[in-house]
């Protein structure tokens, strides 16, 4: 009974969520787009001409936003390139190059590197989240692992002055994750956008400028 009540409350909150309504109105696939939009507008992360990777991209709202920022014109092509990666399938987004698979596997990385042709990225975005169990220690380890994967990817592919924006969560591993970011990036900040629900422990970490670029 309690679970049914929770589901009903979630559905009620979701239907009445202003960001859900706005996403539907503006043609975005998920409310998560407004988290990226707020951070981008304050940090000026996305600019025409950039090479950008969206990790864990499905259902694609972040890729939609990036595409619009690199273009400004519907159907008019873009100035820059976007590569979206996810284990899950994703419906096509105009001008976005989607690769389905695990970005830690050589076969998927090889596909991306074939497209990059030796070029380095300006920005890596990650809205990835592990499956959470509700057990703080287990979840902390899973979150930390996802953060390590994103940081390792960024170290291998970012330009020296590039940036990494990832979704993180407050919890037992948070201090370790922040320490890792500070050891790899010259500037590190955390962001809690308005579109992030108050009851959610999610927070976004932004690292700018690799300390030791490869």
DSSP string, 134-194: S-HHHHHHHHHHHHHHHHHHHHHHEEEEEEEEEEEE-STTHHHHHHHHHHHEEEEEEE--T
**ω into 18 cis (within 30 of 0):** no
Q: How far, in Å, CA of 81 to CA of 97, rounded?
A: 8
Catalytic residue among 37, 69, 167, 208: 167
Is 54 annotated to bind a ligand? Reply is no
Is 162 annotated to bind a ligand? Reply is no
Name the phi and psi angles at 147, rounded to 5. -65, -40
Q: How far, in Å, CA of 129 to CA of 161, rounded?
A: 26
Is 76 annotated to bind a ligand? Reply is no
Q: Is 194 a catalytic residue?
A: no
Burial tier of 130 (Cβ tally within 10 Å: 0-12, 13-18, 19+): middle
Is 86 annotated to bind a ligand? Reply is yes
Is 17 annotated to bind a ligand? Reply is no
Rg of the chain over Cα atoms, rounded to whole angstroms, equals 17
Helix H or strand E segment including 111: helix 106-116
- CA nearest to 57, candidates 162, 128, 113: 128
Annotated binding site: 60, 62, 86, 102, 127
Annotated binding site for S-adenosyl-L-methionine: 60, 62, 86, 102, 127
Query: Which amino acids are annotated catalytic?
Result: 167
């Amino acid at each position: 009974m309690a679970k049914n009540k929770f589901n009903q409350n979630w559905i009620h909150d979701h239907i009445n969520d202003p960001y859900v309504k706005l996403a539907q109105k503006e043609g975005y696939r998920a409310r998560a787009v407004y988290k990226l939009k707020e951070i981008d507008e304050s940090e000026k992360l996305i600019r025409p001409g950039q090479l950008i990777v969206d990790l864990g991209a499905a259902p694609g709202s972040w890729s939609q936003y990036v595409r619009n920022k690199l273009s400004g014109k519907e159907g008019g092509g873009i100035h820059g390139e976007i590569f979206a990666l996810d284990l899950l399938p994703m419906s096509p987004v105009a001008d976005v190059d989607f690769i389905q698979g695990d970005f830690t596997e050589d076969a998927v990385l090889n596909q991306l590197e074939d497209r990059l042709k030796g070029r380095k990225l300006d920005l890596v975005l990650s809205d990835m989240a592990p499956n959470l169990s509700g057990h703080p220690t287990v979840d902390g380890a899973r979150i930390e692992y996802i953060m390590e994967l994103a940081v390792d990817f960024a170290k291998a592919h970012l330009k020296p002055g590039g940036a990494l924006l990832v979704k993180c969560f407050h919890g037992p591993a948070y201090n370790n994750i922040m320490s890792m970011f500070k050891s790899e990036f010259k500037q590190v900040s955390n962001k809690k956008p308005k579109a992030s629900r108050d009851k959610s422990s999610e927070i976004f970490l932004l690292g700018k400028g690799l300390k030791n670029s490869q």
